[in-house]
């Protein structure tokens, strides 16, 4: 005999039941659409952005990050809790569909040979999901109400959503259990089997009412949830999967080149000037606070909280009033080092750097408002092609005694060594360039420099929001590369590397650009450099944001270090690789005074000093500057060295 279907409801007749459900669903969908429509319209009318390329890569990323919850699970406890709720929800989508089917088709009966087997398998999986989600939600409530971690703010909205989810789970369990108690010959999942004998104590009348109550509680909780979604931060439940799918796949900061001939306004001064993906980002924030915890500006008392910035920009975007971004304090925008730590931490792949640079462009190019230190730097970059105003004609003075050939297009060398402004003019930076030259010569690498024809890549101008100046500097260098037939470039500055490698192709310069750590690694592997002496000092390695997070180069500098040190002497701190903390120089911040809060370089130095090192090894000349200044200010007995310098010492 076919067991009775779990759908006979006490409260409604087979005629009124679909009508009642249709009415409630229509009301909920209308309220949902009223809130979603303006958001869709915003996205539809926003600036375009190409995000439909490399579909297979996007699918793989979505499977890993969105469905596999890989980024969330990097955090034990809360990460697992969210992941369990997410997976449970995916399974329970089918259950929600079943509930609506029951409501709309109270008398329809599907039956085919494998019905019972399929149904029972589904009932077990579904009950496992109900249990999983109930436990995760209970843990979430426990965290919010009892543990109260600092980064979580207790909001009525958050509690309501958790209670609604719990109501959906409890009503699911009672619906099955009451039905089994009423019809012992029917089949339900394990939760129903356990609870039915308990509920069975009640009379038939109570059980019937309980069954109907559970049904309508389940349906109304789902519908209330739907209405609340677009009106709360839980909108991310709908947007996070597409946000991950359309996320940035390119290295670097993914900044777009402004067409100064065509465009009428530059940068973003009004929320509506963001592109559609940036707007989708703003609507996807789960307000989990992971970005704040990773942000060096926030950690050192600057007014920039990446999470708050997102919330403020989103609220302005959705406000019916003006979407002018002027309510965001300028200092918030200038506090960012463009380090990307927030992006690496964000479980739903929200980008920050592109938005912050767009806001800076708006301030610099449209509103002509920026920190006073930038005024001098912009002038120096424009006239002398370096941010400090050293004479252009003295760019290659550092190399005079070293006998480095100047690039000759009739006799090109294998590599062009792009020295960068720091390596050409800064007293400390020049020592690094000299050490790099020494290692390359020792290994017999054929290289030359552009001499006084080299100009600033424009990185500081671009990160400071002066896209016009960047365009000018990048165009000039790109022209030189083309004219001179340059193909392969090595540089010891990760900021130069990032610009030349990721941003110059738009200017027509397609180069093979490598960092000195990569070239040194290769030379060591080929046996062209073999450090005889091994250092025994205690070393800690500091990751540069533009080498690591922005260009995914983590191993090369470590291998170079390991080649010149005794095993076990190189230590790692907790905040390394993807979670490494910025030294404070990026985003053109090395040009600015740091008057608010503590210095980011001091904060980073404190993290590194936990390992009690003799030497801090670095692969970026700006990190060397920042950390060395911090060491002096704190009067500590530790050296800060570039990996090139450390290697040079071991091979001379």
Cβ proximity to ligand SF4, 216 vs 352, nearer residue: 352
Q: Are strands 447-448 and 639-642 parallel, antiparallel or unpaired?
A: unpaired
Task: Verify binding: residue 253, ligand SF4, rule CB under 6 A.
Answer: no
Rounded Cα distance between 330 and 356, Å, is 11
Q: How many residues bind ligand SF4 (CB under 6 A)?
A: 29
Minimum distance between the CB of residue 597 and ligand SF4, rounded to whole angstroms?
12
> Do β-strands 512-515 and 447-448 pair in parallel, antiparallel, or remain unpaired?
unpaired
Cα 39 to chain center, whole Å? 23
CB of 240 to ligand SF4, least distance (A): 8
Q: Which residues are within 8 A (CB) of 2 and not within 5 positions of it... i.e. 6 or more apart?
A: 109, 111
Give the interface segment with ligand SF4, choosing from 87-95, 331-339, 369-377, 509-517 (CB under 6 A): 331-339
Q: How many other CB atoms sit within 10 Å of the CB of residue 161?
A: 21
Binding to ligand SF4 by CB under 6 A, coded x per residue (else -) over 551-590, reads: -------------------------------x--------
Contact of 641 with 617, CB cutoff 8 Å: yes
Candidate segments 180-188, 283-291, 567-575, 615-623, binder of ligand SF4 by CB under 6 A = 283-291
Decide whether 212 or 239 has the Cβ nearer to ligand SF4.
239
- Say which residues have a Cβ less than 8 Å from residue 580's Cβ, sequence separation at least 6: 341, 542, 543, 545, 548, 549
* 337 interacts with ligand SF4 by CB under 6 A: yes
Closest CA to 605 of 639, 577, 579: 639
Is 287 one of the binding residues for ligand SF4 (CB under 6 A)?
yes
Position 342 contacts ligand SF4 (CB under 6 A): yes
Q: Which of 294, 313, 619, 620 binds ligand SF4 (CB under 6 A)?
A: 294
464 binds ligand SF4 (CB under 6 A): no
Quote the least distance from Cβ 32 to ligand SF4, whole Å.
22
Nearer to ligand SF4, 352 or 415 (CB): 352
Q: Does 290 bind ligand SF4 (CB under 6 A)?
A: yes
Q: Does the protein bind ligand SF4 through residue 352 (CB under 6 A)? A: yes
Instruction: Tell me which stretch binds ligand SF4 (CB under 6 A): 136-144, 249-257, 302-310, 435-443.
Output: 302-310
Tokens matching residue 483: 């004219």
Should residue 521 be labelled a site residue for ligand SF4 when binding is judged by CB under 6 A? no
Restricting to residues 46-75, name those near ligand SF4 by CB under 6 A. none
Binding of ligand SF4 by 288 (CB under 6 A): yes
Pairing state between β 415-418 and 447-448: parallel
Tell me the closest approach of the beta carbon of residue 134 to ligand SF4, in angstroms.
Answer: 24
434 or 575: whose CB is closer to ligand SF4?
575
Contact (Cβ atoms closer than 8 angstroms) between residue 337 and residue 589: yes
Output the smallest distance, CB 497 to ligand SF4, in A: 18
- Out of 65, 353, 377, 449, point to the residue binding ligand SF4 (CB under 6 A): 353
Tokens 């958050």 map to which residue? 158
Can residue 341 be called a binding residue for ligand SF4 (CB under 6 A)? yes
Whether the Cβ atoms of residue 82 and residue 236 lie closer than 8 Å to each other:
no
546: contact with ligand SF4 by CB under 6 A: no
Q: Which residue in 14, 31, 136, 36 sits closest to 81, CA to CA?
A: 136
269 binds ligand SF4, rule: CB under 6 A: no
Q: In whole angstroms, what is the distance from residue 36 CA to residue 201 CA?
A: 46
Give the span between the Cα atoms of 548 and 577, in whole angstroms: 6
Sheet arrangement for strand 539-542: 570-571, 539-542, 615-618, 639-642
Q: How far apart, in whole angstroms, are the C-alpha atoms of residue 491 and residue 309?
A: 34
Minimal distance, residue 495 CB to ligand SF4, in Å: 14
C-alpha 632/C-alpha 640 separation (Å) is: 11
Classified as helix, coil or strand, 442 is helix
Q: Around Cβ 533, how many Cβ atoms within 10 Å? A: 11
Residue numbers 305-324 binding ligand SF4 by CB under 6 A? 306-307, 310
How far is residue 403's CA from residue 566's CA, in Å, rounded to a whole number? 33
| Residue 347: other Cβ atoms inside 10 A | 24
Q: What x/- string results for residues 210 through 249 when contact with ligand SF4 is judged by CB under 6 A?
A: ----------------------------------------
Quickly count: other Cβ atoms within 10 Å of residue 5's Cβ: 17
Among 285, 357, 497, 519, binds ligand SF4 (CB under 6 A): 285
Asked whether 44 and 226 are in contact (CB, 8 A), the reply is no
Interacting span for ligand SF4 (CB under 6 A) from 134-142, 198-206, 296-304, 377-385: 296-304
Binding test (CB under 6 A) with ligand SF4, winner from 230, 296, 494, 613:
296
Burial level of 400, CB count in 10 A (0-12/13-18/19+)?
A: exposed
Please report how close the Cβ of residue 353 comes to ligand SF4 at its closest, in angstroms.
5
Least gap, CB of 236 to ligand SF4 (angstroms): 7
Tell me if 461 contacts ligand SF4 by CB under 6 A.
Answer: no
Residues that bind ligand SF4 (CB under 6 A): 285-291, 294-297, 304, 306-307, 310, 336-342, 345-346, 348, 350, 352-353, 582
């Amino acid at each position: 005999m076919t067991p009775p279907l779990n759908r006979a409801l006490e409260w409604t007749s087979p005629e009124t039941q679909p009508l009642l459900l249709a009415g409630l669903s229509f009301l909920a969908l209308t309220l949902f659409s009223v809130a979603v429509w303006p958001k869709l319209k915003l996205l539809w009318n926003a600036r375009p952005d190409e995000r439909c390329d490399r579909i297979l890569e996007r699918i793989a990323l979505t499977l890993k990050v969105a469905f596999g919850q890989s980024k969330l699970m990097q955090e034990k406890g809360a990460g697992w809790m969210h992941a369990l709720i997410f997976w449970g929800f995916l399974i329970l989508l089918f259950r929600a569909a079943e509930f609506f089917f029951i409501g709309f088709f109270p008398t329809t009966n599907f039956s085919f040979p494998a019905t019972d087997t399929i149904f029972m398998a589904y009932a077990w999986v579904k009950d496992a999901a109900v249990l999983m989600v109930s436990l995760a939600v209970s843990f979430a409530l426990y965290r919010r109400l009892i543990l109260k971690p600092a980064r979580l703010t207790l909001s009525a909205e958050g509690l309501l959503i958790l209670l609604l989810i719990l109501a959906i789970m409890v009503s699911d369990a009672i619906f099955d259990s009451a039905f089994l108690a009423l019809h012992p010959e029917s089949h339900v999942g394990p939760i129903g089997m356990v609870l039915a004998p308990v509920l069975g104590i009640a009379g038939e009348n109570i059980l019937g009412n309980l069954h109907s109550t559970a049904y309508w509680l389940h349906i109304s909780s789902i519908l209330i949830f739907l209405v609340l979604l677009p009106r709360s931060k839980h909108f991310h439940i709908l947007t996070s999967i597409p946000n991950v799918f359309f996320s940035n796949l390119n290295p670097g900061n993914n900044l777009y080149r402004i067409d100064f001939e065509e465009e009428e306004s530059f940068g973003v001064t009004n929320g509506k000037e963001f592109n559609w993906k940036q707007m989708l980002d703003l609507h996807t924030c789960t307000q989990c606070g992971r970005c704040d915890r990773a942000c060096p500006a926030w950690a050192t008392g600057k007014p920039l909280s990446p999470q708050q910035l997102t919330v403020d920009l989103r609220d302005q975007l959705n406000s019916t009033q003006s979407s002018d971004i002027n309510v965001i304090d300028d200092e918030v925008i200038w506090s960012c080092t463009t380090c990307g730590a927030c992006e690496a931490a964000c479980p739903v792949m929200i980008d920050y750097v592109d938005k912050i640079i767009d806001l800076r462009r708006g301030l610099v190019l449209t509103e002509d408002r920026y920190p006073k230190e930038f005024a001098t730097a912009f002038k120096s970059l424009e006239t002398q092609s370096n941010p400090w105003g050293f004479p252009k004609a003295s760019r290659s003075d550092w190399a005079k005694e070293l006998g480095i050939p100047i690039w000759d297009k009739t006799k090109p060398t294998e590599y062009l060594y792009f020295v960068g402004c720091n390596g050409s003019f800064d007293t400390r930076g020049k020592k690094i360039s000299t050490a790099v030259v020494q290692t390359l010569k020792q290994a017999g690498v054929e290289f030359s420099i552009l001499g006084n024809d080299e100009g600033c890549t424009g990185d500081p101008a671009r990160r400071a929001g002066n896209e016009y100046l960047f365009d000018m500097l990048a165009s000039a260098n790109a022209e030189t590369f083309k004219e001179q037939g340059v193909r392969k470039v090595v540089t010891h500055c990760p900021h130069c590397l990032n610009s030349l490698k990721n941003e110059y192709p738009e200017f027509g310069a397609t180069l093979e650009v490598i960092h000195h750590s990569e070239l040194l690694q290769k030379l060591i592997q080929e046996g062209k450099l073999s450090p005889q002496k091994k250092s025994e000092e205690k070393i800690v390695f500091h990751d540069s944001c533009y080498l690591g997070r922005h260009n995914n180069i983590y191993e090369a500098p470590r291998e170079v270090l390991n080649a010149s040190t005794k095993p076990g002497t190189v230590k790692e701190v907790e905040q390394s690789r993807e979670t490494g903390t910025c030294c404070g120089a990026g985003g053109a911040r090395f040009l600015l005074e740091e008057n608010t809060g503590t210095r980011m370089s001091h904060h980073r130095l404190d993290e590194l000093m936990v390992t009690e090192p003799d030497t801090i090894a670095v692969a970026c000349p700006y990190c060397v500057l920042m950390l060395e200044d911090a060491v002096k200010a704190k009067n500590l007995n530790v050296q800060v060295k570039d990996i090139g310098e450390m290697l040079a010492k071991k091979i001379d």
